[in-house]
Amino acid sequence: AENGNQLAQYELAERYEKGEGIEQDLNQAKKWYQKVTQYTAPKDDLLQSYIEPYHCLAKMKERAENAKDALARVEAMLVGED
């Protein structure tokens, strides 16, 4: 995975996400899914069919985290804590 092998990166991301054989860590899963999706030309179509949903999932999780942070800032402003 560290050497840029997309399949290894994908499998490592999946293991982190599910906690299979390794402690579950969604931040590490996101990191590895993002590494896989950095490539503009995946090595094969089958791999791409696995990668795309996880890339979308990583983006959705990132947007949700950003929205959660923004909501917390707005709530803090409304109660005068910021």
Task: Return the half-sphere exposure (C-beta side, CA atoms, 13 A cut-off) of residue 26.
Answer: 6
CA distance 72 to 68: 6
Q: What is the mean pLDDT of the chain?
A: 78
DSSP 14-82: HHHHHTSSS---HHHHHHHHHHHHT-SS-S-HHHHHHHHHHHHHHHHHHHHHHHHHHHHHHHHHHTT--
Q: Residue 23 — very low, low, confident or very high, per pLDDT cuts 50/70/90?
A: very high
| pTM attached to this predicted model | 0.51
> For residue 44, what pLDDT is reported?
60
- 56/76: higher pLDDT: 76
Instruction: Convert the pLDDT of each residue in 36-58 to its tens digit.
Output: 777 645 556 666 666 677 666 77
